[in-house]
Amino acid sequence: METNKGVIFDLDGVIVDTAKFHFLAWRKLANDLGFDFTKEQNEQLKGVSREDSLKKILDWGELELSKTEFKRQMALKNENYLSYVAKMDEDEILPGVQEVIDYLIENNVPFALGSASKNARNILKKINLLDKFDAIVDGTDVSKAKPDPEVFLIAAEALNIKPENSIVFEDSVAGVQAANNANMISIGIGEQKTLGEANYVFTDFTEIDIEFIKKLLTK
């Protein structure tokens, strides 16, 4: 296929449903500290770095922690989160994702990962996708969190694709905003009412027709 376009995938909530593991682990942390938060509040944590997530959660619980305790809680959360990740294998790849990845590979369309997670490589390895990406940009490579466009701009540059020719799959509000801020084509994976700012929204990858991808790539 003749295309000057490239694709950037977010990881958590797009390729795998680790968003549910993040939620469980953050909720346990909040509960252990004596409060709770809702699924709606959790939407605000998606795409947000580990540190910023804990800051938000502590705000909700109206708690302040010392620097040391803050670090300890972040480590505990990650430990708990990783206990879920440890059980993952390629069956955890969300329905329809593999088909899109295979299509991109068959058609020589470059694609990258653009995630805020510091666990991204570990997870990709577990689901056998680590070697498939042309570039991986994760939480260890960026200094500015989504909705800042940094992560996607670095990914597009690594693919040698112009921002306006980059197609981003995202499940978070912050991530859709980051893609829009980068002047990229944003595709929200989730609910229209949450991700309405995206150029296109699909409930999940099984809703995405390969013809739609083909049209976007050859436009």
Site residues, Mg ion (CB under 5 A): 10, 12-13, 171-172
**Would you count residue 49 as binding ligand G6P (CB under 6 A)?**
yes
Q: Are the CB atoms for 117 and 137 separated by under 8 Å? A: no
Does the annotation place 114 within a ligand binding site?
A: no
User: Is residue 161 within 8 Å of residue 6, measured between CB atoms?
Assistant: yes
Whether 202 and 188 have beta carbons less than 8 Å apart is answered as: yes
Q: Which is nearer to ligand G6P, 63 or 82 (by Cβ)?
A: 82
In the range 59-88, which residues lie near ligand G6P by CB under 6 A? 78
Residue 32 annotated in active site: no
Q: Is the CB of 119 or the CB of 166 nearer to ligand G6P?
A: 119
Residue 113 φ/ψ, nearest 5 degrees? -100, 140
Q: Closest approach of Cβ 98 to ligand G6P, in Å?
A: 21
Residue 116 contacts which entry, Mg ion, ligand G6P, none (Cβ below 5-8 A, type-dependent): ligand G6P
22 binds, options Mg ion, ligand G6P, none, Cβ within 5 to 8 A by partner type? ligand G6P
Q: Does 22 bind ligand G6P (CB under 6 A)?
A: yes
Q: Which amino acid is at 158?
A: A
132 is an annotated ligand-binding site residue: no
Using rule CB under 6 A, residue 53 touches ligand G6P: yes
166 belongs to an annotated ligand binding site: no
Instruction: Give backbone dihedrals phi and psi of 169, rounded to 5 degrees, phi first.
Output: -100, 125
CA dist list (Å): 130 to 16, 121, 123, 134, 217: 13, 7, 8, 10, 23
For the record, the structure tokens of 199 come out as 């150029």
The verdict on whether 102 is a catalytic residue reads no
Query: Annotation-wise, does 214 bind a ligand?
Result: no
Minimum CB–partner distance for residue 88 and Mg ion (Å) = 15
Torsion, Cα 178 179 182 183, to 10 degrees, reads -140
Write out the two tokens for 88: 């993952």
Q: Which one of residues 6, 47, 114, 149 is an interface residue with ligand G6P (CB under 6 A)?
A: 47
DSSP label at residue 16? B
- Distance, in Å, from the CA atom of 132 to the CA atom of 138, rounded to the nearest integer, reads 15
Q: Which residues are catalytic?
A: 10, 12
Where is the binding site, in residues? 10-12, 26, 45-50, 53, 77, 115-119, 146, 170-171
Chain residues binding ligand G6P by CB under 6 A are: 12-13, 19, 22, 45-50, 53, 78, 115-119, 139, 172
